[in-house]
Structure 1
Amino acid sequence: MDYSIAQIPEKEIIPGFRGKMIHGSEMSLVFWEVEEGAEVPEHQHKNEQIMHVMEGRFEFTLSGKSRVYQSGDIVLIPPFEPHSGKAITACRIMDIFSPVREEYR
């Protein structure tokens, strides 16, 4: 199966986070367009997650430790680890989740 990002419908999961999602049988891939100042509150989930900041600057807190990430930075988020974030600038972020992030379907 193949996709074009331009043809994937966009979903706003939380205010300021608009994602284009692809789900396989074992994983989910999300391309986010994030508005400057948008925040994702602290949460955790069963999914292992890899976050790649493609553009912009994103303040990310993992297990109580904060850092500002920028273009090219990648973070591995283990399952059930508390994390949160805030867009310092408008951002483009790619997330990979395993297993599938069912609540994003």
Structure 2
Amino acid sequence: MTVKNHFPAGEAKSFDAGGGLTRKVGAYADNAMVVEVHFEQGTIAARHHHPHEQITYVISGRFEFTIGGDTYIVGPGDSLYKQPNIEHGATCLEAGTLLDVFTPHREDFL
């Protein structure tokens, strides 16, 4: 992969993932990726798992996250860590935006 150092917001394309969820990939390289995720109220991100480490930072809104067997209610400024292959999912309680960081990058998002 050719290294790119600047990812202008105006060049990023939003991807409608369905069910009230929209993603916009920001900067990425082989070992890391940042993704802006917009949720409409009531949107459910079904429980899933993947081999990537993931950190989620709540920019706005309120969410109920389940990670493994634990459930958390989170809002602006809160963050969450998901280790590789742990089952996790979320329900959007109040429309908002998350910032997800993955390592390595998610090939399926490109």
TM-score by length of 1: 0.93
Instruction: Name the SS for the 1:37 alignment partner.
Output: coil
- 5 Å-filtered alignment, 1:86-101, equals 86-101=91-106
- 5 Å-filtered alignment, 1:5-16, equals 5-16=9-20
- 5 Å-filtered alignment, 1:32-71, equals 32-71=37-76
Gaps of 5+ in 2: none
Q: CA deviation digits over 1:67-103, x for unaligned, max 9? A: 1100000111100011010100101100000011111
User: How many positions carry a matched residue from both structures?
Assistant: 105
Contact 1:5/1:20 (8 A) holds in 2: no
Identity over aligned pairs, percent: 27
Residue aligning to 2:22? 18
Gaps of 5+ in 1: none
The amino acid across from 1:57 in the alignment is R
- Considering only CA atoms, is the larger Rg found in Structure 1 or Structure 2? 2
Q: CA deviation digits over 1:29-51, x for unaligned, max 9? A: 10111111001111100000000
Point out 4+ residue stretches in structure 1 off by more than 6 angstroms: none
| C-alpha RMSD of matched pairs (Å) | 1.1
The amino acid across from 1:34 in the alignment is F
TM-score by length of 2: 0.89
